[in-house]
């Protein structure tokens, strides 16, 4: 563990905060664009799903009807993958859609903890504590970037992650391509037993000793890992029964281009009706829309905070005034973010949902008016509390 203390002068901080204003303005512009784009995307997806629900027909997977060429179809059946998936590097194979190899290496990890204090005169003192520990990591940690490199060296990672995918499968009379199988998830662990150790060792070669335990392949001692040791596990996405909504293309599936702009290709596990699949897609669209809205408004808050950052730095000349200034700018930034976010969303929706747009604009107006009224009440209260000036004495 090492501790490093750095000092930043007031003028330097002020210059950095002014540079932050530029980034803040760019962030504000980006968030406004993202919120506008998100509303347009949500509308197009909603219209596309509505169009798809009206066009889709359900067909059996046992036969392909040429009359449905290019139409949006829904079908359910058992996905079959003819050949097992193999990772020759470690003599591992499994039956399924996708075989995933995940490797971890025992490495040094640097943890940092910072504490910043504002000093009288507006400068800052930052105390950084660097601590080091050993842990399993799935990505290589570059120890050359450590503050204290001596005694904390990580070797290169000898094994990389790998994904092996089936090129195609069949579902009744239909051929299922990778465009459909790529949408399948629900990975399951691939069992690896000690009985496979000899085959794995032969695939790896005599350069490194292999140990198999707890469904994992180890380079090193599982009971006492050392820096540079590696452990490997596998997961597989199984085949099984699936339901597909897409355009019938030959004896396969392709995205169905709607007039509303989106291309529809949906895959669910199990026997799922077309109505249920569209309902899930609509729910996912709403969830994504709200997630981007929340992220956009948070981004606006950060952007306004950066734009008003120099105010806090200027006030930091006397530390407690800086804290008060930051509290005030944080409140103002929150209000402005809500207002700008609501107004942006309202404008984006105006062409398709004018009632919702008007409601959002009214809410934004009420919030603005509320803060104006609150500010005037505070001004009157301060004026009432101020002592009256003493009357002038007669001459």
pLDDT reading at 392 higher than 70: no
**Closest of 39, 72, 81 to residue 266, by C-alpha:** 72
% of the chain with per-residue pLDDT over 70: 82
- Residue 169's pLDDT band (boundaries 50, 70, 90)? very high
Distance of CA 154 to the CA centre of its chain: 29
Question: For residues 44 and 207, which has the higher predicted lDDT (pLDDT)?
Answer: 44
Q: pLDDT digit string (tens) for 201-250?
A: 999 888 888 999 989 999 988 999 999 999 999 999 999 999 999 999 99
Residue whose tokens read 């530390």 = 319
pLDDT, position 374: 64
Long-range contacts of 355-363 (CB under 8 A, 24+ apart): none
Residue given tokens 């919702």 in the structure block: 356
How big is the CA angle at 291 (ends 347 and 17), to the nearest 5 degrees?
Answer: 80
How big is the CA angle at 177 (ends 171 and 183), to the nearest 5 degrees?
Answer: 95
pLDDT at 11 over 70: no
**Do residues 111 and 130 make contact, with C-beta atoms less than 8 angstroms apart?**
yes
Query: How much of the chain exceeds pLDDT 90, in percent?
Result: 58
119 pLDDT higher than 50: yes
Average pLDDT, the chain: 86
- Please say if the pLDDT value at position 395 is more than 50: no
Which tokens belong to 304?
């306004």
The domains of the chain are located at: 2-50+284-384, 57-106+134-271
Q: What is the arithmetic mean of pLDDT over 264-268?
A: 96
State the Cα–Cα distance between residues 96 and 75, nearest whole angstrom: 20
Give the 3-state secondary structure of residue 256.
strand
Mean pLDDT of 341-353: 76
* Cα distance between residue 251 and residue 174, in whole Å: 5
Average pLDDT of the residues in 104-124: 81
- Return the number of other C-beta atoms located less than 10 Å from residue 211's C-beta: 17
pLDDT of residue 393: 54
Per-residue confidence (pLDDT) for residue 334, from 0 to 100: 83
Q: Cα(248)–Cα(298) distance, rounded to whole angstroms?
A: 42
Q: What is the mean pLDDT of residues 126-136?
A: 91
What is the Cα–Cα distance from 201 to 208, expressed in whole angstroms?
Answer: 8
The CA distance from 272 to 259, in Å, is 25
Q: Which two tokens stand for residue 14?
A: 């002020």
- H or E element that contains 168: strand 168-171
327 vs 307, more confident? 307
Residue 163: strand pairing partners: 100
8 A C-beta contact, residue 192 and residue 205: no
pTM: 0.77
Q: What are phi and psi of 109, to 5 degrees?
A: -130, 135
The predicted pLDDT at position 305 comes to 85
Compute the average pLDDT of residues 323-340: 80
Give the closest residue to 161 by CA, choosing from 220, 86, 232: 232
């Amino acid at each position: 563990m090492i501790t490093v203390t750095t000092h930043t002068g007031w003028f330097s901080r002020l210059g950095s905060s002014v540079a932050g204003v530029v980034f803040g303005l760019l962030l504000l512009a980006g968030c406004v664009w993202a919120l506008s784009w998100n509303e347009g995307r949500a509308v197009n997806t909603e219209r596309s799903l509505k169009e798809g629900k009206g066009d889709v027909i359900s067909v059996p997977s046992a036969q392909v009807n040429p009359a449905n060429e290019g139409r949006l179809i829904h079908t359910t059946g058992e996905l079959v993958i003819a050949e097992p998936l193999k990772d020759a590097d470690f003599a591992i194979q499994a039956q399924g859609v996708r075989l995933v190899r995940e490797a971890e290496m025992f490495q040094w990890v640097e943890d940092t903890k910072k504490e910043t204090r504002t000093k009288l005169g507006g400068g800052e003192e930052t105390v950084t504590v660097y601590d080091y520990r050993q842990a399993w990591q799935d990505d290589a940690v570059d120890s050359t970037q450590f503050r204290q490199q001596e005694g904390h060296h990580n070797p290169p990672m000898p094994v990389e992650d790998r994904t092996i995918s089936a090129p195609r499968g069949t579902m009744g009379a239909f051929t299922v391509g990778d465009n459909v199988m790529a949408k399948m998830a629900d990975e399951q662990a691939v069992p690896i037993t000690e009985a496979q150790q000899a085959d794995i060792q032969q695939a790896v070669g005599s350069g490194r000793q292999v140990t198999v335990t707890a469904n994992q392949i180890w380079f090193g001692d599982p009971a006492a890992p050392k820096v540079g040791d590696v452990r490997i596990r596998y997961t597989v996405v199984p085949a099984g029964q699936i339901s597909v909504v897409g355009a019938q293309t030959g004896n396969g599936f392709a995205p169905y281009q709607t007039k509303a702009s989106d291309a529809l290709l949906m895959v669910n596990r199990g026997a799922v009706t077309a109505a249920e699949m569209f309902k899930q897609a609509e729910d996912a669209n709403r969830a994504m829309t709200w997630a981007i809205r929340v992220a956009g408004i948070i981004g606006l808050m950060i952007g306004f905070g950066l734009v008003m950052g120099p105010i806090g730095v200027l006030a930091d000349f006397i530390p407690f005034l800086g804290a008060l200034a930051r509290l005030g700018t944080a409140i103002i930034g929150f209000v402005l973010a809500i207002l700008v976010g609501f107004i942006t969303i309202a404008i984006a929706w105006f062409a398709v949902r004018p009632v919702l747009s008007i409601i959002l604009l009214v809410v934004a107006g009420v919030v603005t008016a509320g803060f104006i009224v609150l500010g005037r009440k505070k001004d009157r209260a301060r004026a009432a509390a101020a002592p009256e000036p003493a009357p002038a004495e007669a001459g």
